[in-house]
C-alpha cells in the first residue's frame, strides 16, 4: 500500500544545515508567507488536502519542486 506524505520537516532540517541557523515555525511562516498554524499542520502531517498556493509558497521558500515536497511512497509496515 502507498500513501501521499509531505517532506516539510526534512526540508526544514536541510535548510537549517545549509543556512547554519535554526528555523522556527514563526520564522518559516513569516518568510514563506503562510500562517504558523499551517507550518505546524504540515510538520505534524495533519494536512489531508494540499492547496496549490501553499505548495507554491513552500517550494519558493525551500527552492524545491512539488516532487521534493510531496511524495507518494509505500507505507512502512509496523513491526508485529
SS3 (DSSP) at 42: helix
- The model's pTM: 0.89
In a structure prediction context, what are the per-residue pLDDT tens digits for the chain, which is 80 residues long? Answer: 899 999 999 999 999 999 999 999 999 999 999 999 999 999 999 998 999 999 999 999 999 999 999 999 888 777 76
Taking residue 29's Cβ as centre, other Cβ atoms within 10 Å add up to: 18
The residues pairing with 70 across neighbouring beta strands, listed in sequence order, are 6
Q: Are 5 and 69 in contact (CB under 8 A)?
A: no
Q: Which CATH number does the domain housing residue 56 bear? A: 1.10.260.40
Which among 79, 70, 51 is positioned nearest to 3, based on CA atoms?
A: 70
In a domain, 31, yes or no: yes
In a domain, 68, yes or no: yes
Instruction: Please give the pLDDT value at position 7.
Output: 97
Q: Are 11 and 69 in contact (CB under 8 A)?
A: yes
Amino acid at each position: 500500500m502507498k500513501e501521499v506524505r509531505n517532506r516539510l520537516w526534512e526540508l526544514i532540517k536541510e535548510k537549517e544545515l545549509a543556512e547554519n541557523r535554526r528555523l522556527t515555525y514563526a520564522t518559516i511562516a513569516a518568510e514563506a508567507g503562510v500562517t504558523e498554524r499551517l507550518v505546524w499542520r504540515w510538520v505534524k502531517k495533519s494536512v489531508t488536502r494540499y492547496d496549490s498556493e501553499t505548495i507554491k509558497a513552500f517550494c519558493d521558500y525551500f527552492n524545491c519542486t512539488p516532487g521534493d515536497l510531496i511524495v507518494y511512497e509505500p507505507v512502512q509496515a509496523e513491526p508485529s
